[in-house]
Amino acid sequence: DAGVTQSPTHLIKTRGQQVTLRCSPKSGHDTVSWYQQALGQGPQFIFQYYEEEERQRGNFPDRFSGHQFPNYSSELNVNALLLGDSALYLCASSSRAFGSDTQYFGPGTRLTVL
């Protein structure tokens, strides 16, 4: 049973560029959440998708946007990149259909903004 997968593993961009990160949830999961983890910090919640809609959002600007596809996979898009966007981006999946509040994380995408 494949766990949560993310791509790419690493990414280097320059300020002002746009980036798209991808996530496939664990088999049987229908909900995808995205987190940003700055170096030496705990993950911060960005937003959550269920049934192809954004259901919750943390304290992040609208430069951060996302999408969920019918197969439950998800993308995170960040526009107009800033140096401060450099972080590990984590995707987590869970099963809302089964009423579970347990989230399982992928390995993350390391984004470096130069």
Partner 1 sequence: GDSVTQMEGPVTLSEEAFLTINCTYTATGYPSLFWYVQYPGEGLQLLLKATKADDKGSNKGFEATYRKETTSFHLEKGSVQVSDSAVYFCALNRQNSNSGYALNFGKGTSLLVTP
74 lines the binding site for partner 1 (CB under 8 A): no
Q: Is 86 in the site for partner 1 (CB under 8 A)?
A: no
Q: Residue 19 CB, nearest distance to partner 1 (Å)? A: 18
Sheet holding 64-68, edge to edge: 5-7, 19-24, 74-78, 64-68
Please tell me whether residue 90 binds partner 1 under the rule CB under 8 A: yes
Sign of the torsion angle spanned by Cα atoms 51, 54, 58, 62: positive
Please tell me whether residue 1 binds partner 1 under the rule CB under 8 A: no
Q: What is the largest CA-CA distance in the chain?
A: 42
Site string for partner 1, 7-46 (x = CB under 8 A): ------------------------x-x-x----xxxxxx-
Q: Which positions touch partner 1 (CB under 8 A)? A: 4, 6, 31, 33, 35, 40-45, 48, 50, 55-56, 58, 90, 92, 94, 96, 101-108
